[in-house]
Amino acid sequence: MAMNQEQIFNEVQEVLVDALGVDNDEVTANSTLTGDLGAESIDFLDIVFRLEKAFGIKIPREELFPAESLMNNPEFISKGKFTEKGLAELRTKIPHTDISKFQNNPDVNKLGDLFTVGAIVKYVETKLNAA
Amino acid sequence: MRWIWIDKFTEFNSGKSAIAIKNVTLAEEHLHDHFPGFPVMPETLMIEAMAQTAGILVGEAKSFKEKVILAKIKKAVFFDYVKPGDTIRLETQIESITPEAAGTAGKITCGEKLIAEIDLMFSHIDQNLAGKKFPEENFVFTGTFESLLRDVLISANSSSKAGLGQDG
């Protein structure tokens, strides 16, 4: 399927508007899902289901929004912050996400800020190109 | 699920779709207040009826081993009133199901009339990402709703019944 980034963004925007009950103009590439758009844990699954349907792709558990496997590993997290090893793991696990700012203060509670609209668009793009 | 708000299933395709019906009667006391002189079924209770229909469908898909909790109302649009004496038909299908959750799409009709479209999400709460623990016993699926499946069980696969817990 040949879709450019703008088309993917528009589709992702529609998914998020429907899933989170937000307005079109609230969904920008930099908006964070939890902070700006008010997503809760069940919404992440809803978004995954809707993306799969909208783009005809399969999104394996933990691939788009990994958290569980990282959070429960003491090697990756120490005193509420990601360790060097944890950050390295993040980079390989979510290559679609820019963690350059996050690594300055890798507070676990700020992990949600990594999940932006732009990251979803990038993820979908990679997925579509691989198909 | 101890409060039963649907009357029976008329169709049940394991893991895929189900149809249940509910008869609405003026003997339901809330209808006298909703509204005086103009009794109509509250829309919230239509969502409840759909949640039970879809929740049992989702529960049966995993042989009633998971605790299935309504997690999100994705969509609820209402087109017409339901009045005492009406029989509503609740039709639902599973759109997606994963180890931790399921999404369903459904509609309610009364005769030929479309009453509502209700899409829901359910969580399998033992698989929640936060790792929270819940009581061992399955407090969602008890034997109390077994009678709902009485008509469909005769022809359907036996797994539906085998998974039911004891009445709590």
Domain ranges of chain A: 1-56+115-131, 66-112
ipTM: 0.78
Q: What is the pLDDT of residues B72-96, one digit of tens each?
A: 999 999 999 999 999 999 999 999 9
Active site residues of B: 34
Confidence at residue A101, expressed as pLDDT on a 0 to 100 scale? 86
Confidence at residue B86, expressed as pLDDT on a 0 to 100 scale? 98
User: Does A45 contact chain B (CB < 8 Å)?
Assistant: yes
User: Does A68 contact chain B (CB < 8 Å)?
Assistant: yes
Position B132, amino acid: K
Q: What is the pLDDT of residues B16-68, one digit of tens each?
A: 999 999 999 999 999 999 999 999 999 999 999 999 999 999 999 998 999 99
CA distance B117 to B108: 6
The average pLDDT across A41-47 equals: 90
Number of H helices, E strands in chain A: 5, 2
CB spacing of B128 vs A53 below 8 angstroms: no
Beta-carbon count within 10 A of B5 CB: 15
**CATH top-level class of A1-56+115-131:** mainly alpha
Confidence at residue B159, expressed as pLDDT on a 0 to 100 scale? 46
Given a cut of 70, whether residue B1 has pLDDT beyond it is: no
Confidence at residue B161, expressed as pLDDT on a 0 to 100 scale? 46
CA distance A12 to A124: 9
CB spacing of A45 vs B74 below 8 angstroms: no
Instruction: Name the CATH superfamily for B8-158.
Output: Hotdog Thioesterase (3.10.129.10)
Q: Out of A81-90, B36-45, B52-61, B135-144, which region has the weakest mean confidence (pLDDT)? A: B135-144
Chain A nearest-CA distance from B68, in A, is 13
